């Protein structure tokens, strides 16, 4: 029995829904979301800790950086199937196969557009040529692995007869998973469920494959469409942490998993996800990408378990189930506690870091402890969120080409215009400058631009407080755009200007990484 058949039987016989996470591939295509190799590995390890069934690590043909990322994830992550994306072309498939060689279990995910609109204007191919490409690409992928997934891009807008024909051919040529994407987020739940039901009833060999769905959130229906598809027979859902992705994003993994867990009465399906790791994953991704989660976001938002109304508070005190349909602990959320201060030792700090779900080497821990002591001298109260912000800030600065050395700013009513004196370490060399600006932040950014000129436009500057109080750390997000590519940088500090400088520098470092990425050559028939 092949691995794909085992997976199919397992998903169907146990009524289990497989979770296919594409945070590292589709999620990274979100504007401003760019991750370096180390950051991708951190996300991949967290996904494995969550027991995600399949991790789509990237698109190996896209760039050398993407190839390296998929290859390193394949080398280091165990427990999950590692997938690489490939178009219906030999070069794509062979590049994916090469990247996936070290994987404990590897999957090649190949795709081609099938909607009339995409075939005519994007591919410029006739339907028969597309159909032939489905057969040849899947068959070629099977030369490298028993686990092949095939997707008809823009599947929800594809002619039903043609879709059935392509799906049948893909399965006949060895695809063990058939993924149906709602690529542009056009479908509504009843329509999408009917599409899956149609395939289940019309494709003669459909029982030989798992039906997967990949929904986008352009109409805010990605999760609803995914769950409707499960009700119609789909047994794999493709999703991302925090729902990040192109345009309005992808289906949110945490919402899907907790919906299946909470409403097992009408959706009697299980996932293998360790739900207590959800908050950790959400916070990790947020810190890496600089994409702050909206407060009212389901499951992982700051207000998801907050109750302000007097009636709600009264009910909660009497019985939590009056207003909570799941417990905060079930998603890994614990209340902030003031357990550390300026007198806390390294051992206690190390234990707290471990409790928060981080594993750091001695050097990183020592540097972090110094920063914690500095913070404890400034802040009256040190919360878990403060420590998380410190850790994420420190880890994110791992191998930057540009680092902040010092910053001095003069501003206020007696210093007009504001001035900034700044020193940066750039590729090991310390450089300094002095500049003016319309405000203290503008003066600081002008200094950075003088020392490291870049044709980058500031798209976003955002400040939020990590915790409450006037002594709270400021968490700053900066988005830079260059030649159509945007990146986010993020940093936290009790000094808003220091946090601002570090966030801008973080964005510059990510921009340097992004410059190395390029789109793959056009697909030819």
Residue 490 confidence (pLDDT): 85
User: CATH number of the domain that 430 lies in?
Assistant: 3.30.160.270
Return contacts of 163-170, CB within 8 angstroms, 24+ apart: 163/114, 163/199, 164/198, 164/199, 164/202, 164/203, 165/131, 166/114, 166/130, 166/131, 166/134, 167/199, 167/203, 167/206, 168/203, 168/204, 168/205, 169/131, 169/134, 169/135, 169/138, 170/134, 170/135, 170/138
Domain annotation covers residue 448: yes
445 near 452, Cβ under 8 Å? no
Residues 224 and 325 in one domain: no
pLDDT at residue number 162: 97
Residue 90 CA to residue 291 CA, distance in Å, equals 36
Strand order in the sheet with 457-465: 457-465, 474-482, 485-493
At which of 359, 376, 395 does a domain end? 395
What's the pLDDT score for residue 289? 82
Residues 383 and 424 in one domain: no
* Same domain assignment for residues 42 and 165: yes
Q: Which helix (H) or strand (E) holds 268?
A: none
Residue 294 lies in a domain: no
> 380 with 499, same domain?
no
- Provide the pLDDT for residue 3: 44
178 with 321, same domain? no
8 A C-beta contact, residue 49 and residue 507:
no
Name which of 370, 369, 335 is nearest 349 in CA terms.
Answer: 369
DSSP secondary-structure letter at 469?
A: S
Do 65 and 173 fall into the same domain?
Answer: yes
Those residues with Cβ within 8 angstroms of residue 19's Cβ, 6 or more apart along the chain or in another chain: 52, 53, 54, 236, 237, 239, 253, 256, 257, 271, 272, 273
Residue 84 to residue 148: CA distance in whole angstroms? 10
Tell me, yes or no, whether 467 and 391 share the same domain: no
User: Could you tell me the residue range of the domain that residue 113 belongs to?
Assistant: 3-289
Number of domains in the chain: 4
What dihedral angle (degrees, nearest 10) is formed by the CA atoms of 125, 127, 132, 135?
120
What pLDDT is recorded for position 322? 53
525 within domain boundaries: no
**How far is the C-alpha of 193 from the C-alpha of 231, rounded, in Å?**
7
Query: Is 39 contained in some domain?
Result: yes
299 domain-assigned: no
Classify residue 340: in a domain, yes or no: no
459 within some domain: yes
Tokens of 294: 């909206």
Residues 108 and 157 in one domain: yes
Q: What pLDDT is recorded for position 8?
A: 43
Same domain, residue pair 445 and 375:
no
Find all residues with CB under 8 Å of 120, minimum gap 6, and list them: none
Q: Which residues of the chain have pLDDT under 70?
A: 1-14, 32, 305-324, 334-339, 357, 380, 392-399, 516-525
Residues 356 and 418 in one domain: no
Integer CA distances (angstroms), 12 to 7, 84, 434, 443, in order: 9, 24, 66, 61
Cα–Cα distance for residue pair 444/478, rounded to 1 Å: 13
For residues 478 and 447, membership in a common domain is answered with yes
- Whether 295 is covered by a domain: the verdict is no
Q: What pLDDT does 18 receive?
A: 98
Question: Looking at the structure, do residues 365 and 482 belong to the same domain, yes or no?
Answer: no
Q: Is 166 exposed, middle or buried (0-12, 13-18, 19+ CB in 10 A)?
A: buried
Give residue 308's pLDDT.
40
């Amino acid at each position: 029995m092949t691995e794909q058949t085992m997976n199919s039987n397992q998903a169907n016989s146990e009524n289990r829904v497989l979770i296919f996470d594409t945070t590292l591939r589709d999620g990274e295509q979100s504007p401003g979301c760019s991750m370096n190799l180390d950051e991708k590995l951190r996300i991949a390890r967290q996904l494995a800790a969550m027991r995600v069934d399949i991790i789509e690590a990237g698109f190996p043909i896209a760039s050398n950086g993407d190839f390296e990322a998929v290859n390193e994830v394949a080398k280091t992550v165990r427990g999950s199937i590692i997938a690489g994306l490939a178009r219906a072309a030999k070069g794509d498939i062979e590049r994916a196969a090469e990247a996936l060689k070290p994987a404990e279990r590897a999957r090649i995910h190949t795709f081609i557009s099938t909607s009339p609109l995409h075939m005519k204007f994007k591919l410029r191919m006739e339907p028969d040529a597309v159909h032939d490409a489905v057969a040849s690409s899947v068959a070629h992928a099977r030369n490298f692995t028993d686990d092949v997934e095939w997707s008809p891009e823009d599947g929800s807008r594809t002619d039903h007869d043609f879709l059935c024909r392509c799906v049948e051919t893909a399965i006949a040529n060895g695809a063990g998973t058939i993924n149906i994407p709602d690529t542009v987020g056009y479908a509504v739940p009843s329509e999408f469920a009917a599409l899956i039901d149609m395939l289940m009833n019309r494709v003669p060999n459909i029982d030989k494959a798992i039906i997967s769905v990949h929904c986008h959130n352009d109409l805010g229906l990605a999760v609803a469409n995914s769950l409707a598809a499960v009700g119609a027979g789909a047994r794999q859902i493709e999703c991302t942490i925090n729902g990040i992705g192109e345009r309005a994003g992808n289906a949110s993994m945490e919402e899907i998993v907790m919906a299946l867990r909470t409403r097992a009465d009408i959706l009697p399906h299980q996932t293998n996800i360790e739900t207590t790791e959800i908050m950790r994953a959400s916070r990790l991704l947020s810190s890496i990408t600089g994409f702050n989660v909206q407060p009212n976001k389901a499951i992982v938002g700051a207000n998801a378990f907050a109750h302000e109304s007097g009636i709600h508070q009264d009910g909660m005190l009497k019985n939590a189930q009056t207003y909570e349909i799941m417990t905060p602990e079930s998603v890994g959320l614990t209340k902030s506690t003031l357990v550390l201060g300026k007198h806390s030792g390294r051992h206690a700090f190390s234990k707290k870091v471990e409790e928060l779900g981080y594993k750091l080497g001695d050097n990183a821990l020592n540097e972090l402890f110094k920063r914690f002591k500095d913070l404890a001298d400034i802040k009256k109260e040190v919360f878990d969120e403060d420590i998380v912000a410190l850790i994420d800030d420190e880890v994110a600065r791992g191998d930057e080409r540009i680092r902040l050395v010092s910053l001095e700013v003069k501003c206020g009513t007696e210093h007009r215009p504001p001035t900034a004196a700044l020193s940066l370490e750039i590729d090991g060399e310390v450089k300094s400058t002095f500049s003016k600006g319309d405000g203290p932040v503008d003066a600081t950014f002008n200094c950075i631009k003088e020392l490291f000129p870049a044709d980058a436009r500031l798209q976003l500057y955002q400040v939020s407080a990590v915790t409450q109080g006037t002594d709270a750390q400021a968490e700053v997000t900066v988005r830079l755009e260059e030649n159509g590519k945007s990146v986010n940088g993020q940093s936290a500090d009790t000094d808003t200007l220091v946090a601002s400088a570090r966030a801008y520098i973080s964005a510059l470092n990510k921009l340097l990484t992004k410059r190395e990425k390029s789109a793959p050559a056009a697909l030819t028939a």
